[in-house]
Amino acid sequence: MDHRLLAGSAALALIAGAAQADKVTVFGPWLGPDQENVEAVLAGFAEATGHEVAYVGSDSFEQQIRIDAEAGSAPNVAVFPQPGLASDMAGEGFLTPLAEGTGDWVRDNYAAGQSWVDLGTYAGPDGADNLYGFFYKVDVKSLVWYSPENFEDAGYDVPTTMEELKELTDQIVADGETPWCIGLGSGGATGWPATDWVEDMMLRTQPPEVYDAWVSNETKFNDPAVIGAIEEFGAFARNDDYVAGGAGAVATTDFRDSPKGLFSSPPQCYMHKQASFIPAFFPEGTVVGEDADFFYFPAYEGKDLGSPVLGAGTLWAITNDNQGAHDLINYLQSPEAHEIWMARTGFLTPHKGVDTSVFSDPTLKKMNDILLGATTFRFDGSDLMPGGVGAGTFWTGMVDYTGGKDAQEVADEIQSSWDSLQ
Amino acid sequence: MSPALQGLMTIVIGVVGCVGYFYLSNQFLDKVLYPARGPNAGRNINRANLIRPWLFLFPALFALGLYLAYPVVETLRLSLTDRVPGGGYEWVGLRNYQQMMQEPKFWEAMRNNMLWLIVVPALSTAFGLLAAQLTDRIRWGNLAKSLIFMPMAISFVGAAVIWKLVYDTRPVEQDQIGVLNAIYMALGGAEPQTWLTTPFWNSFFLMIVLIWIQTGFAMVILSAALRGIPEETVEAAIVDGANPFQIFFKIKVPQIKNTILVVWTTITITVLKVFDIVFAMTNGQWETQVLANYMFDKLFRANDWGVGSASAIVIMILVMPILVWNVRNARAEMK
Amino acid sequence: MNNIAGSRSALVWIVNLCVLGLVCLWLFPTFGLFVSSFRTADQIATSGWWRAMFASEQNLTLRTAPPESQVQQGDLYVIEGNLFGDNPDAVISVWGVSSRDIDAYTPGETAELRRGGEITVQADGGYRLVNTEAFEGNRGPRVFVTATTPPELTFQNYKNILFDPANVDGMAKAFFNTLTVTIPATIIPILVAAFAAYALAWMDFPGRALLIAAVVGLLVVPLQLALIPLLKLHLGVGIGKSYLGIWLAHTGFGLPLAIYLLRNYMAGLPRDIIENARVDGATDFQIFTKIILPLSFPALASFAIFQFLWTWNDLLVAKVFLIDASGQTTVMTAQIVELMGTRGGNWEILATAAFVSIAVPLLVFFAMQKYLVRGLLAGSVK
């Protein structure tokens, strides 16, 4: 408690240094209920500092922020859903480096702190590396969803290692049932759920350094390490016995429809791997924690790679410099800023100083524990790759792979598309 | 101000403005500049009549120039430049075109567009001709025509939803809710097909949507042309003992050859611009990319105005022969 | 003679059947979506729309009332009720208590529960749960039933889409946005084009033939070319993405067809009328407003329908020139594409939304078909 008070008052002290009240505009991707949540946090900021603050949310954030920046009408603070765009804009000189000391603070106070600093550090227009982005609100992707009652009916236990998970998968098949629901369909973005699988498999078969090298293309996409991870995913997704509807249905099943198989009668599948946001697409009336629950997508016991966690998060950056914007980033370092949203819904944080008892429901707390217990945290790699790969050929390549194409062939194609970007 | 009110005001301002412009400028010409009175009345009338056409034409010419002619030139310029970060443009010559030519997605779009260009006009015209010929001979022909014609009124997006339901796929153990799979399974198919994600064939399933929309158009035009055929030629053939098929293919079709060509080219232009159907149904995935959607991708997703403009120019070049042909026809007709 | 008549009537029959087949083929897809928009989400997901009029068999997962509603009868704890709630109209054929064995029992049989106690389920959904110890936990056990539910058509989907204020998928706003785009974008080009068409048809001036040729040429220019230059222009002069912007854009894009259609029609009007009026001393302006405009009504109407359908159904122009980050100006076509992305599997929402957007053009189409056909015939270059 003392620790929290200290951190809070330190932030306030910093803020009190601000001479006059500024108008701070914040632009982000959140609409609807999430907009109310972020506005509650910003109201806390306004109250604590006396700055005036306004938030605008947009569905097409990525396109709009670029147009606004080029037109010279950027907001003070932009909330990027993925680092790739922020990195580009930092290089073009649209972002202002964060105040000195912010990096040290993140390193000390966030779980897997160095990962977060690295993710927010980019080369500026002059080529020098600076911390531009501060992470606030993150998602965990390494989760497997299941129906506890169905597990109970069948007498299955939650697996804690990858070996056990594979055993359970075979057990379910032996019982004449189908273990997994996998769906990659997502309209124009079809294929992305598979990229999460491959990334999680990378972290479970290779040390984190290899993952980083892969994301920056120092390790080529058609490297045996990457192909190994793709094939690990294929071991689940390309096995007709393992997937509801057979391997052929994987690419076409919509990712939003896919988890519904857990709750159908009789169950079409028993497990579904997806990020923390997926309960929004469960059938109406499904209560997380009772009808549905999740467990950590486990690591191989035999590989000694710790318990890696794959995630994503929103990154706050200053797109139009003023004191108020810096004060806002400072405010986000106080536990209070995290606890306001924690007490509402859908918020996870790597901040070690927060009081996790304020979480509005036990599920979120359990997810946050996975995050805090991570020995390695890695950001969704496809978000870090160039758009043409991470939001292009990687997606389509995975669709081709689940359709039966050879992993080597797919990886070669993705690599060549990456080469053509340089 | 509510948009509805704003819209209403724009209508009023627009209409009053237009009428006002035409009326006042004419008044100005006739009463102030060259009054048809006094010593120079005759000369003034002539002068006013020289200027008047341009008063009538000015708003239209201005809008046409600004919204259609200028963009052609500007797009050409953009396709030869790249944007420099932070503003400004850089002349890059043909580099955008080179880059585009190296992209497999571009060639995929070209290949698909060529398929669309062959299949859609051909089948739309064929079905249209069939429908026109058949409906002309029955009592409820007009009702049948308006029902076949109806998809013309439905938006491409609406059509995409309609056909997505037709193509829907459910896992094999469930009841199919898409008509196509239901029929396929009833005919003894082993497992339901995912029509929209099977490369190569899926393009045809997208084309069906456009054929469905365009057939009505072809039918209406061709039916009018068929009715315009002189009765004598048909009667003469009947007397000669020709069967209905011979009459249709040997007597009627040759006489409406020109109309068929017009229908064909009109649908061809529509095909070149087809965007909504692909955008809404597959967004160019599973090898269904077409030029218009490729261009949209480049412009608004990759934010690459250079290559995007270059692909727009490619569409323009493909339209060019039809444009020239149309203009020559129109000029010949006026002489 | 008989023979010929016989083969003739056979032929007529074949023609009739062919046309019937063709019409069905063309109508079926739309009809399917139409029927679907009146079905409930469960029904759409479990059976094809062509079964809408038949009872459908569904597998349902239901729960009994929670333990807090138990009553003590003698030394037994009892929970009673109906699985379907207050208005049971479904009939259960088989049921079970484990997800592994959902058809283990027939109605009237009694099953042992894993956590202790017994349950009996009747065909109408009535159940009775008994145990010698008190039931614990905060929820009743699951019961898996296979039930036949009678067909049901409902207006609920339309109510949800159009009138539910809390509904984020609401089309009502998009509907008005579309209307706001469409009406000015239809009326303004007609006015501008009518004057120009008159000048091109009945006034003599140098360069007339060239201008007509230019209009014919512009008729086929793909509007794709105009997107970036005009967006730049609009951003540059401060119009930005707005209704004004899209009205201007639609006016520009619609003009070639408007001028072409109207000129063709006006040029076909009898020369005497205009000559006579000129002799009587009428000015061109008077001739135009008093004689030409009223006579050209059919051509004006056919262009109006074209432009209306085109602007109502447009997606591309709206996406580029109107829809911005605020989300306040979404038109229906864009809204439906969004729904396909976010509600891909919810056919009850998609079908209803699509039909809301299709309804108006269809009405216009059937009411004004005559003019549409006339316009088409005049509009296709001869």
What gap in Å lies between CA B300 and CA B270, rounded to an integer?
Answer: 22
Please name the chains neighbouring C, where neighbouring means 3+ C-beta pairs under 8 angstroms: A, B
Other C-beta atoms within 10 Å of B81: how many?
18
CB contact under 8 A, C220 and B319: yes
> Which candidate from A246, A251, A420 shows the least CB-CB separation from B197?
A251
How far apart are alpha carbons C189 and C187 in whole angstroms?
Answer: 6
| Contact (CB, 8 A) for A14 and A49 | no
CB-closest option in C209, C229, C312 to B75 = C229
Amino acid at A354: V
Q: Quick check: C97 and C113 in contact, CB under 8 A?
A: yes
By CA distance, what is B278's nearest residue in A?
A188
Cβ atoms of A86 and A98 within 8 Å: the answer is no
DSSP tag of A406: -
Both B155 and B20 in one domain: the answer is: no
**Interchain contact C44–B (C-beta under 8 A):** yes
Residue spans of chain C under pLDDT 50? 1-5, 381-382
- Looking at the structure, tell me whether residues B117 and B266 fall in a common domain: yes
Return d(Cα B311, Cα B75) in angstroms, integer: 10
Are B330 and B213 members of one domain? yes
Note whether A246 contacts B172, CB cutoff 8 Å: yes
> pLDDT digits over C128-146, tens only?
888 888 888 778 888 888 8
The number of domains in chain B is: 2
Distance CA(C32)–CA(C355), nearest Å, equals 11
Percent of chain A whose predicted confidence (pLDDT) is above 70: 91
**C-alpha span between A62 and A53 (Å, rounded):** 21
Largest CA distance in chain A: 70
How far does A243 lie from chain C, in Å, by closest CA? Answer: 18
Nearest to B112 by CA among B34, B25, B203, B201: B203
B183/B107 same-domain check: yes
Q: Is B227 exposed, middle or buried (0-12, 13-18, 19+ CB in 10 A)?
A: exposed
Confirm whether B93 is domain-assigned. no
- Residues facing residue C142 across a β-bridge: C63
A127-131, A273-277, B240-244, C255-259: the lowest-pLDDT one: B240-244
Domain ranges of chain C: 2-52, 56-149, 160-379
DSSP symbols for A298-365: PPPGGG----EEEEEEEEEEESS--HHHHHHHHHTTSHHHHHHHHTSSS-B--BTTS-GGG-SSHHHH
**Domain C160-379, what fold?**
MetI-like fold (1.10.3720)
pLDDT at A44: 92
| Domain co-membership, B68 together with B128 | no
- d(CA B5, CA B7) in angstroms, rounded, equals 5
Radius of gyration of chain A (CA): 22
- CA separation for the pair C372, C382 (Å, rounded): 17
User: Averaged over A167-183, what is the pLDDT?
Assistant: 93
B41: which 2 tokens?
Answer: 């009345």
Determine the residue among A27, A68, A73, A153 to mutate to test chain C binding: the one whose Cβ has the most chain C Cβ atoms within 10 Å.
A153
Q: Using DSSP, state whether A96 is helix, strand or coil.
A: strand
Residues of chain B with pLDDT under 50: 1
> Which helix H or strand E contains C72, and what residues bound it?
strand C71-73
Model pTM score: 0.79
DSSP-derived 3-state class of residue C328: coil
Cβ contact, residue pair A254, C345, below 8 Å: yes
pLDDT of residue B139: 84
C341 with A188: Cβ contact below 8 A: yes
Would you say C121 and C145 are in contact if contact means Cβ atoms under 8 Å apart? yes
The alpha carbon of residue B132 is apart from the nearest alpha carbon of chain C, in Å, by 10
- How far is C173 from B2, CA to CA, in rounded Å? 11
Phi, psi of A19 (to 5 degrees): -75, -55
Q: Do A64 and C325 touch (CB under 8 A)?
A: yes
Q: Find tokens 């009702």 and name the residue.
A: B143
Task: Read off the pLDDT of residues A198-256 as tens digits, 9 standing for 90 and up.
Answer: 999 999 999 989 998 999 899 999 999 999 999 999 999 999 899 988 887 888 788 88
* Of the listed ranges A13-17, A52-56, A263-267, B120-124, the one predicted with least confidence: A13-17
* Apex C259 CA angle, C254 and C260, nearest 5: 105
Is B57 in the same domain as B169?
A: no
Give the residue numbers in A contacting C (CB under 8 Å), as ranges.
Answer: 31-32, 56, 58-61, 64, 67, 71, 147, 149-150, 152-154, 177, 185-188, 254, 256-257, 260, 263-267, 290
Mean of the pLDDT values across residues A417-421?
77
Q: Is the backbone peptide bond immediately before B39 cis, with ω within 30 degrees of 0?
A: no
- Please report the pLDDT score of residue C149 as a whole number: 78
CB contact under 8 A, A265 and C324: no
Both B63 and B130 in a single domain?
A: no
Q: Looking at chain C from residue 226 to 265, which residues have their Cβ under 8 Å from any Cβ of chain B? A: 226-230, 232-233, 243-244, 247-249, 251-253, 255-256, 259
What is residue A1's predicted lDDT score, i.e. its pLDDT? Answer: 39
Q: Any alpha helices (H) in C203-270, and if so which ranges?
A: 208-218, 227-237, 243-267
| Cβ atoms of A97 and A130 closer than 8 Å | yes
C residues 128-147 closer than 8 Å to B (CB): none
| Residue from the list B14, B138, B279 with its beta carbon closest to the beta carbon of C188 | B14
CB atoms within 10 A of CB A408: 13
CA-closest candidate to residue A353, choices A61, A14, A113: A113
Per-residue pLDDT at A339 exceeds 60:
yes
pLDDT of res. B208:
92
Which among A255, A275, A314, A270 is positioned nearest to A142, based on CA atoms? A275
- Distance between CA atoms of residues C244 and B292, nearest Å: 25
CA distance to A56, A57, A69, A140, per residue, from A277 (Å): 22, 19, 30, 9
Give contacts of B 97-116 with C, CB under 8 A.
Answer: none
Give the SS3 label for residue A136.
strand
Burial B103-128 (b: 16+ CB within 10 A, else e): bebbebbbebbebbeebbbebbbebb
With CB atoms and an 8 Å threshold, state whether A396 touches B302.
no
Nearest CA in chain C to B131: C19
Domain with B231 in it: 103-334
Which residue type sits at B236?
Answer: A
**Placement of tokens 């000391």 in the chain:** A101
Task: Say if residues A102 and A325 touch (Cβ distance below 8 Å).
Answer: no
Q: What is the pLDDT of residues A342-389, one digit of tens each?
A: 888 778 888 888 888 888 778 888 888 888 888 888 888 888 887 778
Verify whether the Cβ–Cβ distance B57 to C195 is below 8 Å. Answer: yes
Cross-chain Cβ contact C325/A185 below 8 Å = no
Structural domains of chain A, with CATH: 2-139+311-378 (3.40.190.10), 143-308+381-421 (3.40.190.10)
Contact B52 C203 (CB under 8 A): yes
Q: Answer yes or no: is B84 within a domain.
A: no
Q: A178: which residues sit within 8 A by CB, 6+ positions away?
A: A172, A241, A242, A243, A244, A268, A269, A270
Instruction: Tell me which of C203, C225, C233, C347 to substitute to probe the interface with B (most B C-beta atoms closer than 10 Å).
Output: C225
Q: Any chain C CB within 8 A of the CB of B95?
A: no
Helix (H, G, I), strand (E, B) or coil at B299: helix
- Same domain flag for B329 and B279: yes
Residues B223 and B166 in one domain: yes
Q: What is the Cα–Cα distance from A192 to A396, expressed in whole angstroms?
A: 8
**B263 closest CB neighbour out of C226, C354, C380:** C380
